[in-house]
């Protein structure tokens, strides 16, 4: 498989199209003895009578795949539905070098969407080991539906399942794009989005909007004394503690390194100060916490507060919160300034 990836990386689109076409042509016809009892347990043949399965199998052809062989590629239209009888297939979106988004196992189908609409597949499907598949050409599709309505029902269920999985992948990708992988807090990308939403809502409802900027005190010293892994756990613990203290409408974002930003909708400076002090004390009062590497010292934070002015951009509000944070550090840390 790695060999396929490396070759694909060096090829132009046209060259790789020729390469995957050649692989498809090179797929070897397999010697395979149908086991009706085994097939009846596969999802595609669920509730299909054994006599119908026997007739259906006349339209299928068994083929062998070698490890690393590309079964489906977005470069080529697909004419076949594939049913995996042996081995394992991986599904990659966008590129063979991308992380696999799903694994197909014995009994799973591949290519059902492009098989029906006669278009290019939306993903790469690659054999991770020696595989055997049943292959059905799309010209046989409607004849088989007439022979077995149950087969059509099963294929529609497979299509619905694939669409739902695709939607979950989109949602997971969107979430991953907005979430800091270490702390689980939102990232700067989400901060930009949520600021636009909350600033518009603030102006429309004539409600205040405040920002807290937090920085872990003496974090470099903490890392030097306890190690960077301990520092990571400290940031995770801190983010978890802060989230538990916030209201549902508040949003916590990791701004960078040991800096975090919190947007407080519908909160004026006095209420924001009370919230900030509550957050600061929640960390200040914990001298140690448990982590996977043992008990670690707690951390404190310095906090800068700024209330949004009518013409404030995100950068402008951040700059004023950062100036307040600088004053908090200058005055001794573990405190809030506005």
Same domain, 159 and 224: no
In terms of Cα–Cα distance, which of 168, 337, 202, 330 is closest to 269? 337
Strands lying side by side in the sheet with 102-104? 70-72, 124-127, 89-92, 102-104
Question: What integer pLDDT is reported at residue 181 of this predicted model?
Answer: 87
Q: Is 208 within the bounds of a domain?
A: yes
Last residue of a domain, one of 178, 198, 232: 178
Q: Is 213 within the bounds of a domain?
A: yes
How many angstroms separate the CA atoms of 197 and 203, rounded?
10
| Total Cβ atoms within 10 A of residue 224 | 11
Same domain, 52 and 174: yes
High-pLDDT (> 70) share of the chain, %:
87
Same domain, 84 and 227: no
Instruction: Report which secondary-structure segment, H or E, holds 203.
Output: helix 188-205
Q: Is 69 within the bounds of a domain?
A: yes
Which string of b and e fits 267-281 if b means at least 16 CB within 10 Å?
beeeebbebbeebbe
SS3 label, residue 42: coil
Last residue of a domain, one of 140, 156, 178: 178
Contact 131, 86 (CB under 8 A): yes
Task: State pLDDT tens for residues 301-313.
Answer: 999 999 999 889 9
In terms of Cα–Cα distance, which of 243, 171, 182 is closest to 251? 243
Query: Does 10 or 132 have the greater pLDDT score?
Result: 132
Same domain, 171 and 272: no
How many angstroms separate the CA atoms of 301 and 222, rounded?
13
**How much is the average pLDDT of 123-149?**
83
Same domain, 153 and 208: no
Structural domain boundaries, residue 120: 2-178
The partner residues of 282 in beta bridges, in order of sequence, read none
Q: Is 224 within the bounds of a domain?
A: yes
Is 258 considered catalytic here? yes
Same domain, 134 and 207: no
User: pTM here?
Assistant: 0.56
pLDDT category of residue 107 using cuts at 50, 70 and 90:
confident
Same domain, 192 and 331: yes
> Given 66, 192, 258, 277, which residue is catalytic?
258
Same domain, 11 and 157: yes
Task: State pLDDT tens for residues 18-65.
Answer: 444 444 445 777 777 667 777 777 778 778 777 777 777 788 888 999
**How much is the average pLDDT of 253-277?**
95
Q: Is 183 within the bounds of a domain?
A: no
Question: What integer pLDDT is reported at residue 170 of this predicted model?
Answer: 65
Last residue of a domain, one of 178, 211, 241: 178
Q: To the nearest 10°, the Cα dihedral for 111, 117, 121, 122?
A: -110
Same domain, 277 and 198: yes
Cα angle vertex 333, ends 332, 337, to 5°? 100
What is the crossing angle of helices 228-245 and 269-284, to 10°? 130
How many angstroms separate the CA atoms of 55 and 144, rounded?
9
The partner residues of 124 in beta bridges, in order of sequence, read 92
Q: Tell me how far apart the terminal alpha carbons of the chain are, to the nearest angstrom.
A: 57
Contact 254, 260 (CB under 8 A): yes
Which of left, alpha, beta for 119 (phi over 0: left; psi -120 to 50: alpha)?
A: beta
């Amino acid at each position: 498989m790695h060999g396929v990836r490396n070759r694909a990386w060096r090829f132009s689109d046209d060259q790789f199209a020729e390469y995957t076409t050649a692989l498809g042509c090179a797929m070897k016809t397999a010697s395979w003895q149908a086991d009706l009892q085994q097939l009846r347990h596969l999802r595609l043949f669920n509730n299909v009578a054994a006599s119908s399965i026997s007739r259906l199998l006349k339209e299928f052809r068994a083929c062998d795949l070698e490890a690393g062989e590309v079964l489906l590629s977005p470069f080529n239209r697909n004419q076949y539905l594939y049913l995996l009888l042996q081995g394992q297939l991986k599904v990659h979106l966008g590129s063979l070098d991308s992380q696999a988004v799903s694994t197909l196992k014995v009994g799973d189908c591949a290519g059902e969407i492009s098989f029906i609409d006669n278009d290019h597949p939306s993903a790469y499907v690659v054999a991770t080991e020696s595989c055997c598949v049943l292959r059905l050409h799309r010209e046989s599709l409607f004849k088989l539906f007439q022979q077995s309505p149950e087969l059509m029902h099963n294929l529609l269920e497979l299509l619905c399942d694939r669409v739902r999985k695709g939607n979950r992948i989109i949602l997971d990708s969107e979430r991953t794009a907005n979430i800091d992988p270490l702390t689980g807090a939102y990232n700067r990308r989400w901060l930009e989005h949520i600021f636009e939403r909350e600033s518009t809502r603030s102006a429309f409802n004539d409600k205040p909007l405040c920002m807290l900027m937090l920085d872990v005190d003496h974090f470099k010293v903490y890392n030097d004394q306890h190690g960077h892994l301990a520092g990571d756990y400290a940031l995770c613990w801190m983010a978890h503690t802060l989230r538990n203290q916030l209201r549902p409408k508040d949003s916590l974002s990791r701004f960078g390194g040991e800096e975090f930003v919190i947007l407080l909708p519908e909160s004026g400076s006095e209420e924001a100060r009370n919230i900030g002090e509550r957050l600061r004390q929640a960390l200040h009062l914990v001298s140690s916490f448990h982590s996977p590497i043992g008990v670690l010292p707690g951390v404190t934070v310095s906090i800068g507060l700024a209330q949004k002015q009518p013409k404030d951009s995100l950068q402008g509000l951040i700059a004023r919160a950062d100036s307040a944070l600088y004053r908090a550090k200058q005055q001794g840390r573990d405190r809030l300034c506005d």
